[in-house]
């Protein structure tokens, strides 16, 4: 690392007579004063004040400890080895610590190196007494180890130090990556590395190996899980690992009915020739040459003309002259600028393609839009649905079962008085009972008309159908309600509910005028 982030590395142990004692430090004089000519004029930290944290009590051993002193951060991993009849006081406590600047934001990577170094030295000590057998303060294997670790990590960010014929210390500084964003099913993963350059199999993860062939920048995560026959949650986790290590980026679903517009970063694209050259290499596709023979209709016309004219030769095929000059030229920088800047709000991509057909020759439209999204000078306008009321579509006044029961009661009542005068008497009796609640407060039950009524009998069936359709609309509205808060885009709703965009838009607009609103942002 050119910045030389490691200011010092030192080895300290608990001496039975001297207590906490620094045996080796690189560079000299960085922790305790040193008489060497190359020593620092003053220590970076005051060792007596930090000694209790470097050689702590036993409950804090085998843990990564970090603290700040004198504008420097000290990172240590104290180790305690307990073994009777080998050490004085039957235990051996040591610590390899690293000193970095307090302003170092990514200090976590040094903690992993210190942790690994402490565990490796513990194994070396338990195997052959690597640390306890080397008590020289001016040199020795342990001092050489500290010197090589500090130099190699500062210069190369990694080190490989052979200890003996069977042991080697390998350390590497890995940058601390930010946690990946939440992975949702409607996102489209696009690989940023070439899989052909990697060894096969790429990973021992079965899910990852199954989904990699379907990651092409077109399929969404939900669709990839279906094609690979894998669980959606496992697929999302595998994609999350690839995002964490920078192997792919996540995009929106590409659609010709979507709206794309440039951002403020489009000015950087206009003045940067390198990024325009990169864009040309990415979006250019081989031009489709016109077929050597014309269409079947043109060939048939040419054949008929040759038959009508006996002096003309009969052509076997109608060829179009081809030359290098006829080959359509690829897009240039000005064409790219014109295409990107012509995208605007309120215009669907399919309309934009129809308006720029001549300039899009030899260009992959999907890659053209994808390149702008990846570089950040294009953005997609999403659709969101908002419900202005939380009320559901009204349910039918009474259930179908209740209405059917009332219908059966009317049928049985009519059947008991079937006859000439009996039927008329029952009908007049029903109309004459004005004091009954059913006459004063008519319900929405389905009543079958009497045998002498002139009303058509299909009114009951019409009421049943209307109630059923209202109930059906209510059931269809229930899954949509949680998405109508303006926080879920159409891509997410369509993916999770399995609906087409036109169907979803029709359902939202069918809620009634002013009840469901579609916004674009």
The pLDDT, as a whole number, for residue 110 is 95
Average pLDDT over residues 270-291: 83
| The pLDDT of residue 364 | 95
Q: Per-residue pLDDT tens for 330-355?
A: 789 999 999 999 999 999 999 999 99
- Where helices occur in 156-264 by DSSP H, the ranges are 206-211, 221-228, 232-244
Please, which pLDDT band fits residue 509 given cuts at 50, 70 and 90? confident
pLDDT at 473: 54
Query: Could you tell me the CA-to-CA distances from 284 to 159, 248, 249, 289, 334 in Å, in that order?
Result: 43, 21, 21, 15, 15
> CA 7, CA 72: separation in Å to the nearest integer?
9
Whether the pLDDT of residue 462 is over 90: the answer is: no
94-105: string of b/e by CB count within 10 Å (b at 16+)? Answer: bbbbbbbeeebe
How far is residue 194 CA from its own chain's centroid?
A: 19
Check residue 394 and give its pLDDT.
52
Is-contact 84 66, C-beta < 8 A? no
User: pLDDT for 217-273, tens place per residue?
Assistant: 999 999 999 999 999 999 999 999 999 989 999 999 999 999 999 999 999 999 999
Coil, strand, or helix at residue 293? strand
Which of the four pLDDT bands, split at 50, 70 and 90, describes residue 401? Answer: very low
Beta bridge partners of 161: 169
Please tell me the pTM assigned to this model: 0.67
Helix axes 459-481, 490-497, angle to 10 degrees: 120
Taking each helix axis from N to C end, the angle separating 490-497 and 501-509, rounded to the nearest 10 degrees, works out to: 100
Mean residue pLDDT across the chain: 80
First vs last Cα of the chain: how many Å apart?
Answer: 44
- Class of residue 451 by CB neighbours under 10 A (exposed 0-12, middle 13-18, buried 19+): middle
Measured over the CA atoms of residue 370, residue 373, residue 375 and residue 377, the dihedral's sign is positive
Q: CA-to-CA distance for 362 and 356, rounded, in angstroms?
A: 12
Degrees to nearest 5, angle at CA 145 with 144 and 151: 85
- Ordered by start, the domain boundaries in the chain are 6-172, 188-251, 382-415+444-521
User: How far is residue 5's CA from residue 175's CA, in Å, rounded to a whole number?
Assistant: 13
Q: How far apart are CA 136 and CA 142, in angstroms?
A: 9
**Opening angle at CA 365, ends 364 and 368, nearest 5:** 90
Question: What architecture is the 6-172 domain classified under in CATH?
Answer: 2-Layer Sandwich (3.30)
Helices (H), 417-455: 420-432, 437-440
Who has greater pLDDT, 519 or 296? 519
Running DSSP on this structure, what letter comes out for residue 96?
A: E
Rg (alpha carbons) of the chain, rounded to whole number: 40
Encode pLDDT of 423-432 as tens digits.
Answer: 444 444 444 4
Q: Is 399 helix (H, G, I), strand (E, B) or coil?
A: coil
Between CA 282 and CA 416 the distance in angstroms is: 85
| Cα-based angle 379, 380, 385 (whole degrees, multiple of 5) | 140
Give the pLDDT of residue 432. Answer: 41
Give the confidence band of 46 by pLDDT, cuts at 50, 70, 90: very high
Please state whether beta strands 248-251 and 259-262 pair in parallel, antiparallel, or not at all (unpaired). unpaired
More confident of the two residues 131 and 310: 131
Contacts for 22-26: CB closer than 8 Å, 24+ residues apart: 22/47, 23/135, 23/137, 23/142, 23/143, 24/137, 24/140, 24/142, 24/143, 24/146, 25/146, 26/143, 26/146, 26/147, 26/150
Residue 200: phi and psi, rounded to 5, are -115, 130
| Chain segment 170-200, per-residue pLDDT in tens | 999 988 888 899 999 999 999 998 877 766 6
- pLDDT for the residue numbered 295: 45
Cβ within 8 Å of residue 25, ≥6 positions away: 8, 9, 10, 11, 31, 32, 34, 146
């Amino acid at each position: 690392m050119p910045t030389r982030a490691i200011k010092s590395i030192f080895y300290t142990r608990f001496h039975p007579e001297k207590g906490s004692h620094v045996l080796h430090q690189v560079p000299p004089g960085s922790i305790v004063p040193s008489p060497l000519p190359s020593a620092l004029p003053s220590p970076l930290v005051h060792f007596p004040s930090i000694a209790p944290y470097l050689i702590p009590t036993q409950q804090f051993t085998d843990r990564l400890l970090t603290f700040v002193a004198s504008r420097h951060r000290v990172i240590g991993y104290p180790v305690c080895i307990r073994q009777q009849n080998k050490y004085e006081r039957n235990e051996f406590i040591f610590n390899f610590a690293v000193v970095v600047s307090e302003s170092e934001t990514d200090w976590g990577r040094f903690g992993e190196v210190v942790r690994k170094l402490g565990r490796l030295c513990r194994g070396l000590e338990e195997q052959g007494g690597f640390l306890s057998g080397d008590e020289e303060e001016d040199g020795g294997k342990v001092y050489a180890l500290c010197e090589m670790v500090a130099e190699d990590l500062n210069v190369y960010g990694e080190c490989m130090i052979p200890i003996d014929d069977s042991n080697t210390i390998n350390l590497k500084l890995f940058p601390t990556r930010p946690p990946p964003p939440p992975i949702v099913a409607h996102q489209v993963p696009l690989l940023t590395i070439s899989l052909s350059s990697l060894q096969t199999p790429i990973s021992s993860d079965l899910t990852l190996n199954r989904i990699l062939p379907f990651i092409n920048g077109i399929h969404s995560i939900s669709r990839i899980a279906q094609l690979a026959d894998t669980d959606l949650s496992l697929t999302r986790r595998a994609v999350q690992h690839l995002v964490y290590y920078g192997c792919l980026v996540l995009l929106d679903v590409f659609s010709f009915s979507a709206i794309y517009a440039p951002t403020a970063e489009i000015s950087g694209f206009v003045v940067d020739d390198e990024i325009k050259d990169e864009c040309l290499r990415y979006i250019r596709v081989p031009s489709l040459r016109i077929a050597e023979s014309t269409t079947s209709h043109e060939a048939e016309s040419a054949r008929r003309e040759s038959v009508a004219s006996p002096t003309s030769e009969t052509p076997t095929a109608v060829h179009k002259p081809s030359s290098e000059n006829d080959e359509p030229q690829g897009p240039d920088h000005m064409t790219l600028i014109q295409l990107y800047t012509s995208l605007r709000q309120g215009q669907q991509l399919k309309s934009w393609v129809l308006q720029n057909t001549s300039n899009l020759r030899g260009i992959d439209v999907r890659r053209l839009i994808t390149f702008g999204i990846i570089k950040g000078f294009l953005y997609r306008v999403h659709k969101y649905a908002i419900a202005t009321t939380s009320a559901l579509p009204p349910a039918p006044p009474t259930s179908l079962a209740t209405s059917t029961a009332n219908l059966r009661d009317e049928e049985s009542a009519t059947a008991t008085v079937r006859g000439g005068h009996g039927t008329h008497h029952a009908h007049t009796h029903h109309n004459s009972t004005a004091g009954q609640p059913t006459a004063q407060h008519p319900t929405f039950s389905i009543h079958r008309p009497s045998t002498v009524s002139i009303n058509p009998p299909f009114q009951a069936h019409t009421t049943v159908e209307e109630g059923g359709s209202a109930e059906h609309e209510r059931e269809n509205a229930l899954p949509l309600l949680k998405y109508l808060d303006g926080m879920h885009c159409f891509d997410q709703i369509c993916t999770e509910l399995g609906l087409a965009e036109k169907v979803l838009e029709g359902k939202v607009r069918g809620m009634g005028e002013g009840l469901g609103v579609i916004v674009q942002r």
